[in-house]
Amino acid sequence: MPASLPPDEAQRLAELKNYEILDTVAEATYDAITYLASQICDVPIALISIVDEDRLWFKSRVGVEATETHRDLAFCAYAIHDPTEIMVVTDASLDDRFNSNPLVTGDPSIRFYAGAPLATETGNALGTLCVIDREPRTLTEGQETALEALSVQVMALLELRRTVRDLEQKQVELAEATRQRESFMATVSHEIRTPLTSVVGYVELLQGDLPDGERAEMLTNVAREAADVESLIEDLLIAARAEADSLRVAAVSVNLPAQIAQVMESLATQISSPITVETQECRAVGDPARVRQIVRNMLTNAFRYGGPNTTISSLGDEETCHVVVADDGEGIAEADCERIFDQFVQVQNGRDVPSSVGLGLPISRLLAEKMGGSLTYRFEDGLSKFDLSLPAEKPPG
């Protein structure tokens, strides 16, 4: 008669999976416990049994060759129902639950069974430390106490194993974070140094005697390079505030066409290909400065990675306002559509373009979400489209 499932079986199996113990190799520390259990209880068979979804797997075993058996045949499947008590079967041949069980009627001819549950802190039993005999018998009080104590030691080993695994994973993550930060700092240094070097060079040239036309062109270049540095620093400040959990945004009326116009004016020196502006009157709720920062990042991304033609538009309804930047570039591979919003990620689309810090889009999405909106990407009708969505301002009354 197979045991019924515990009422919290789904949670128990999820917790068991988290320990990552199933199908691991034999370990001397566990084998020492099963040996002690067999000696203390004076039995030929002792097992550390883990109850999986449809099988009983032995982490350690004394007295049997098999490494697992079907859960329907497992005594331990009954024992895990009460994680607080040892389950004792003095004579399985007289027990209606087990007297027709092949493990009783055939090899290994089980008669006596005692299983101490391997209980977690949440009250689930992963399996048992069990002892088995081929003759009917009982345990002394001292043997039961020892079996319980040894089951506690098994759980201590499982917890230690999981803790070591988690620490190793954190160490790997820390090493990767350190590598990313070092790469990030190197990129930031390059991103800032390049325009500053240009600015210094232009300033030195401007100190000389130049025709008015050349002087005006150089001043325009200086303004462009300075704007690039300013934008990068603003993104870095937002990233730092977000990491420190001190990022705050306003929630006021925002005229989206007006914000787009301001950004277009500030980027005038960087625009080298046609941009179509299609704005409808639309008022959203948000932070005007942050909206401009997002729009600037969207346009800069299109200049850097998109096709030769770019369109920026604003539209909305009673619930939502949108700013959409579309370009006719190759688009982003489906597998990378979300990765572009991860910090420090630059997705290559086949174009030979300079690298970037990889903060613009992640920062923009963060700011959009802080304002109750979203920033998404889609490839539609042959166009790459970045869509900033914000709550629409409600009319008075």
pLDDT exceeds cutoff 50 at 24: yes
Q: In CATH, which superfamily holds the domain spanning 9-167?
A: GAF domain (3.30.450.40)
Residues 33-48, mean pLDDT to the nearest whole number: 97
Residues 89-100, mean pLDDT to the nearest whole number: 95
Residues 6+ apart with CB under 8 A from 211: none
Q: Residue 340 in contact with residue 361, Cβ under 8 Å?
A: yes
Neighbouring CB atoms inside 10 A of 232's CB total: 18
Tell me the whole-structure pTM to 2 decimals.
0.56
173-243 and 252-391 agree in CATH topology: no
Q: What is the pLDDT of residue 353?
A: 40
In angstroms, rounded to a whole number, what is the distance separating the alpha carbons of residues 287 and 38? 71
Neighbouring CB atoms inside 10 A of 193's CB total: 11
| Residues 294-320 pLDDT 10s | 998 899 888 888 888 899 999 998 899
pLDDT exceeds cutoff 60 at 346: no
Residues 252-391, CATH architecture: 2-Layer Sandwich (3.30)
pLDDT band at 146 (very low <50, low <70, confident <90, very high): very high
- Provide the residue ranges of all domains of the chain, joining segments of one domain with +: 9-167, 173-243, 252-391
In angstroms, rounded to a whole number, what is the distance separating the alpha carbons of residues 339 and 343? 9
Higher pLDDT pick, 347 / 73: 73
In DSSP terms, 132 is beta-bridged to: 45, 113
Alpha helices by DSSP H, listed for the chain, are 9-19, 28-40, 76-79, 102-105, 141-206, 212-243, 256-266, 288-305, 360-370
DSSP, collapsed to helix, strand or coil, labels residue 270 as helix
pLDDT band at 269 (very low <50, low <70, confident <90, very high): low
Q: Which residue has the tokens 């990022």?
A: 247
Q: Residue 31 in contact with residue 13, Cβ under 8 Å?
A: no
In angstroms, rounded to a whole number, what is the distance separating the alpha carbons of residues 155 and 150? 9
Residues 132-142, mean pLDDT to the nearest whole number: 96
The residue type found at 153 is Q
State phi, psi for 134 to the nearest 5 degrees. Answer: -90, 0
In DSSP terms, 329 is beta-bridged to: none
Element containing residue 89 per DSSP (H, E): strand 87-89
240-256 burial code (b ≥16 CB/10 A, e <16): eebeeeebebeeeebbb
| Residues 192-220 pLDDT 10s | 666 677 777 767 777 777 787 777 777 77
**Closest by Cα among 361, 363, 352 to 386:** 361
Q: What is the pLDDT of residue 343?
A: 64
**Distance in Å from the first CA to the final CA of the chain:** 70
Strands 310-316 and 275-279: parallel
Higher pLDDT pick, 240 / 74: 74
Q: Which of 31-35, 230-234, 264-268 has the highest average model confidence (pLDDT)?
A: 31-35
Residues 347-371, mean pLDDT to the nearest whole number: 68
In angstroms, rounded to a whole number, what is the distance separating the alpha carbons of residues 334 and 379? 9
Q: What is the pLDDT of residue 195?
A: 67
Class of domain 173-243: mainly alpha
State phi, psi for 70 to the nearest 5 degrees. Answer: -70, 145
DSSP secondary structure, 332-376, as one string: --GGGTTGGGSTT-----S-------S-HHHHHHHHHHHTT-EEE
Residues 6+ apart with CB under 8 A from 325: 295, 298, 299, 301, 302, 310, 311, 312, 385, 386
Neighbouring CB atoms inside 10 A of 103's CB total: 19
Q: What is the pLDDT of residue 351?
A: 43
pLDDT exceeds cutoff 60 at 84: yes
Mean pLDDT of the chain: 87
Distance of CA 181 to the CA centre of its chain: 18
Cis ω on the peptide bond leading into residue 108 (within 30° of 0)? yes
Q: Residue 128 in contact with residue 76, Cβ under 8 Å?
A: yes
pLDDT exceeds cutoff 60 at 352: no
